[in-house]
Amino acid sequence: MNAEASQLIAYTRRSQGKRGQKHSIARQEEEILSFAQRNGMKVKEWFSETASGMKDDREQLAAAISKAEKLGLPLVVSSVSRFGRKLSKLAEIIENPNLTIICADIGMTANFLQVCIMSIFAAEERNLLSKRTKAGLMAARNKALAEGREWKIGNPVWQREDCLPEAWRVNRGKGRATALMYGSLINRMKDLGYSYQAISRELNEIKYKTPSGNGRWYAKSVINIHRRYIQETQE
């Protein structure tokens, strides 16, 4: 047996060094170490950096991949999104025949399809988050300026009762965004012959968070999202 068969090369990444991500790297390290301990493995070497997931030429990621290939060891990350949020880069890493990938949040038994699903979600999640954030800020700005008030984050104008209809509109927008984010993948899996029950089981197996962030996936919720997706894309 290879003496280093139980060893890993670990990679961690945060998007920026701002206050909100102060503990991001430490949290990823904890998740990786916990995973390694549960599976009787240990980290041989760590690679870490602060860089956008949209950047392809990340020095530490390249170094981690090179070291994993050279030593013939698996490359572990806390989640597939740490590799990045561009499908082209994710595909390049996942399809590398000289590299074994482990995502701590999926587990040792993750198959190629599961990693691909997580990759698709990571990319689509970023795109939709960006769009929702910009749309929300623009709506808040326009509302404040229309009432002759100074615009800033947390503007008290949003606490007034007459802003409730706008809040409801935003909430409906969230439902649409949820359908578009998850629906495209569900639609693809349906085209591949997966039943709604099988899709919910697959999502639970890879431990992907539900839209609410709590609970489990059920066939009914998959059906509802898919129907909303079809409705939104056909209008």
Is residue 20 exposed (0-12), middle (13-18) or buried (19+ Cβ within 10 Å)?
exposed
Same domain, 92 and 156: no
Same domain, 102 and 14: yes
Residue 154 has pLDDT above 50, yes or no: no
End-of-domain residue from the set 110, 142, 177: 110
pLDDT digits (tens, 9 = 90+) for 178-195: 777 788 778 877 877 778
Same domain, 87 and 130: no
* Cα distances (angstroms) measured from residue 171 to each of 14, 132, 233: 29, 11, 19
Residue 80: name the closest of 207, 199, 234, 222 by CA. 207
Per-residue pLDDT, 171: 57
Same domain, 123 and 83: no
Same domain, 68 and 118: no
One-letter identity of residue 116: C
Residue 95 forms part of a structural domain = yes
Residue 1 forms part of a structural domain = no
The neighbouring-strand residues paired with 46 are 10
Residue 101 has pLDDT above 80, yes or no: yes
Q: Which domain holds residue 15?
A: 7-110
End-of-domain residue from the set 80, 110, 140: 110
Tokens standing for 189?
């899996």
More reliable by pLDDT, 53 or 159: 53
- Domains in the chain: how many in total? 2
Here the CATH number for the domain that contains residue 104 is 3.40.50.1390
pLDDT digits (tens, 9 = 90+) for 34-57: 999 988 999 999 999 998 887 888
User: How many CB atoms are located within 10 Å of the residue 84 CB?
Assistant: 25
Measured distance CA(40)–CA(20) in Å, rounded: 33
User: How many CB atoms are located within 10 Å of the residue 27 CB?
Assistant: 13
Same domain, 119 and 224: yes
Per-residue pLDDT, 4: 45
Helix crossing, 164-191 with 196-205: angle to 10°?
Answer: 100
Q: What is the DSSP string of 180-223?
A: HHHHHHHHHHHHTT--HHHHHHHHHHTTPPPTTSSS---HHHHH
Residue 155 has pLDDT above 50, yes or no: no
Residue 177 has pLDDT above 80, yes or no: no
End-of-domain residue from the set 110, 134, 159: 110
Same domain, 131 and 104: no
Task: Select the highest-mean-pLDDT range: 65-69, 101-105, 119-123, 152-156.
Answer: 65-69
Residue 51 forms part of a structural domain = yes
Residue 235 has pLDDT above 70, yes or no: no
Measured distance CA(41)–CA(155) in Å, rounded: 50
Coil vs helix vs strand at 142: helix
Residue 2 forms part of a structural domain = no
Residue 193 forms part of a structural domain = yes
